[in-house]
Structure 1
Amino acid sequence: MGLKRNAFTLIELLVVIAIIAVLMAILMPTLGRAREQGKRIACLNNLKQMTMGWILYADDNDDKVVPANTGLSNAWVLWRDPSTPEETRIEGIRQGRLFRYCPEPKLFKCPTGVRGEVVTYAITDAMNGYDGIPGTEKLMVYRRMQIKRADQRIVFLDEGRLSPNSWTLWYDQERWWDQVTARHGDGTNFGFADGHSEYWKWKDPRTLQVAKMDYDLWQSSGRNGAESTQPGNEDLHRVQRGVWTKLGYEP
Structure 2
Amino acid sequence: MKKQAFTLIELLVVIAIIAILAAILFPVFAQARAKARQIACISNEKQIGLAMMMYFQDYDERAPLVRVVDNNHPIFTPKELIWKDLIYPYIKNGGRNYNNGQTYNTSGDGGAFQCPDNTTAWASSKAWGLGPGQPGDETTRYPRSYAVNDDAGVNETGPNVQFWPASYNSASGAIALLQQPASTIMIGETRIIFPDIHAEYTAYEVRSDGTPWGGQPWSVIKGHMGGMVDFIFFDGHVKAVQALQALRNDYWDCYGPNGYGTGTKWPGQAAVLQAASQVPEWSGH
Percent identity, aligned pairs only, is: 26
1:43-86: CA deviation from partner (whole Å, max 9, x where unpaired): 111112111111111111122101123767999xx9766xxxxx
- Counterpart in the other structure of 2:19: 21
CA gap of 1:136–1:80, structure 2 versus 1, over 3 A, is: same
CA distance in 1, matches of 2:51, 2:92: 10
Select the residue among 129, 148, 154 that pairs with 2:185: 154
Which 10-residue stretch deviates more, 119-128 or 19-28? 119-128
Query: Higher relative CO (CA 8 A, sep ≥ 6), structure 1 or 2?
Result: 1
Select the residue among 233, 238, 244 that pairs with 1:197: 238
CA distance in 2, matches of 1:16, 1:243: 58
Q: Is the 8 A contact 1:123 1:166 kept in 2?
A: yes
TM-score by length of 1: 0.65
Which 10-residue stretch deviates more, 44-53 or 183-192? 183-192
Q: How much does 1:145 deviate?
A: 2.4
Unaligned stretches of 5+ residues in structure 1: 82-87, 204-233
Q: Is the 8 A contact 1:122 1:162 kept in 2?
A: no
Q: Is the 8 A contact 1:74 1:96 kept in 2?
A: no
Q: How much does 1:95 deviate?
A: 7.5
CA distance in 2, matches of 1:243, 1:151: 11
TM-score by length of 2: 0.58
- Counterpart in the other structure of 1:140: 163
- Counterpart in the other structure of 1:166: 196
CA distance in 1, matches of 2:159, 2:60: 24
CA distance in 1, matches of 2:190, 2:48: 14
- Counterpart in the other structure of 1:184: 225
CA distance in 2, matches of 1:4, 1:98: 74
Q: Is the 8 A contact 1:151 1:192 kept in 2?
A: yes
Q: How many residues align?
A: 199
Task: Please say if 1:107 is aligned against 2:112.
Answer: yes
CA gap of 1:50–1:67, structure 2 versus 1, over 3 A, is: same
Q: Which has the higher helix share?
A: 1
Select the residue among 234, 256, 269 that pairs with 1:246: 256
CA distance in 1, matches of 2:247, 2:83: 33
Q: Is the 8 A contact 2:150 2:197 kept in 1?
A: yes
Q: Runs (4+) of structure 1 moved beyond 6 Å?
A: 70-75, 92-95, 174-178
CA distance in 2, matches of 1:135, 1:242: 13
Q: Is the 8 A contact 1:158 1:180 kept in 2?
A: yes
Unaligned stretches of 5+ residues in structure 2: 95-110, 123-135, 137-142, 165-172, 206-211, 213-219, 264-285
- Counterpart in the other structure of 2:43: 45
